[in-house]
Structure 1
């Protein structure tokens, strides 16, 4: 589907009632599960590695739900980025320790890759009057790249850092009181990564959460976005009181352990379509082969 047609479709869906959008996502998710075999294989491998206690039937059932949630969240970008501001606000509920985000203390938001990550970002930039920052990975398709950038800059005062901007620039922004919405729980390659357990499996993980918190003397607040029937609940969890410590590797182990608890509460909403275990320690085989 061409870029302009995709964006036109999303603009049209912005005015469709949410239950209809979610129903379309349900159909699209089941379709993708059936036809996108390579990605289905990746999801099933991830789930088997992380939930070895589950039967093959349970793994495939969970994988199907993962595709449904992924598709529904993708279509939800229609109203997140093109719906009326009133509709967006009504469908996004900030809950939990929201007051912790209203000061000017340096803050790193640990935002794991749940399917509602764009909903969480949109809710905070629309509803909380601060200057927000995040790290943006450029998309290979220029048309999609422009659309995603525009969507993520729709509300508030925001800055999208690129990885080439470097640590010093991001830390300087944090020290000035601009919260950083950080998503460090994917496999970004072996460079600067450490291998730490994720559900008991060695996973290449960047220790950036520990690094930014330490260099900026920032508090770390987890933000977990959960898809609901009415839209999304964005859970602002209490700040971690024992983070960072003195060892970035131990901090990253702790980050993954806490992330597992968030995932266990809604495993079908995590971003299992990513090759989380693509890079392996020396001597370990490719798990996706």
Structure 2
């Protein structure tokens, strides 16, 4: 069996004193602005986020094109005008997600529990009773940072993160997550992931992005063959952990959040990588369909094609 833990995590420096050089001052200025904006009421945060998303929709044509292609591929049944409307709403939603970064990093999550409802927490509690840990199988929904933090108010949890390329932003993000999560694991630290599962932890985990050709199968996502990692099956094989589907969305009628946990996957892994990846993609697809505008359509999910000679979508 392939060793899923062979790559070491990168070394992080979360000491703010390491970032006093003037070259970090523009980043500090942006962080300070995020801190100030995070003090605003939630309704105003959403309004500003929508405006940020509208600017991005108009000023970042490359990302708009990617979202247009993804939505055209995934929702061919929609007329072109409805597809374009969904693209625009997705930018608005992700703009709100940018504002929520400040809330997740600089506010006490308890401030938002009165407007948050968690559905299906009993599935997590039952899975943890098995003693082998739980993968909370999530996706890249635009409320990821804030809702992930809110989960820690209801159950102790760890998170896997892809470190930011900007070392100072990464220090702020990691420090914030370490205040709420038990552990913030590097996305490459699969050895650490397996260790925490052996300690019976709940760990946020997502596999819904295109990581290239290594360790993948092509499984359908919205009916389109998508490069899908097989590491999820390997992790469950090695640990015996439960896999609990997990999603989170903003409410449409008033500021607030709904967090969903579903019954653990059964018969997983099956011994068939393609069948397992298809199951994982179907779980995420079903959740995306609840609120498709709240998904990260700006990522090139179908970048890697089954044949190298096949023309790309983007």
TM-score > 0.5 by shorter chain: yes
Q: How does 1:1-289 map to 2 (within 5 A)?
A: 2-98=26-122, 100-101=124-125, 103=129, 104-128=131-155, 130=156, 132-163=157-188, 165=189, 167-228=190-251, 229-282=254-307, 283-288=309-314
Q: How big is the shift at 1:98? A: 3.9
Alpha-carbon spacing, 1:276–1:270, altered in 2? closer, same or farther (3 Å): same
Alpha-carbon spacing, 1:168–1:266, altered in 2? closer, same or farther (3 Å): same
> RMSD value over aligned CA atoms?
1.9
Q: How big is the shift at 1:99? A: 5.6
Q: How big is the shift at 1:248? A: 2.0
CA distance in 1, matches of 2:42, 2:77: 35
CA distance in 2, matches of 1:73, 1:231: 13
Unmatched runs of 5 consecutive residues or more in structure 2: 1-24
Q: Are 2:138 and 2:245, in contact at CA under 8 Å, matched by a contact in 1? A: yes
**Deviation readout 1:99-145 (Å, 9 max, x if unpaired):** 623644421110111112212320222332x3x33322122112221
**Deviation readout 1:55-110 (Å, 9 max, x if unpaired):** 22111100000000000011012222212343133343322234623644421110
Q: How big is the shift at 1:156? A: 4.3
**Deviation readout 1:215-255 (Å, 9 max, x if unpaired):** 11111101101112333211111112232212122100111
SS of 1:133 mapped into structure 2: strand
CA distance in 1, matches of 2:269, 2:174: 31
Q: Are 1:203 and 1:280, in contact at CA under 8 Å, matched by a contact in 2? A: yes
CA distance in 2, matches of 1:78, 1:88: 13
Unmatched runs of 5 consecutive residues or more in structure 1: none
| TM-score normalised according to structure 2 size | 0.85
Alpha-carbon spacing, 1:34–1:159, altered in 2? closer, same or farther (3 Å): closer
Which structure 1 residue ranges, 4+ long, deviate > 3 Å from structure 2? 101-105
In the comparison of the two structures, how many residue pairs are matched? 284
CA distance in 1, matches of 2:30, 2:119: 32
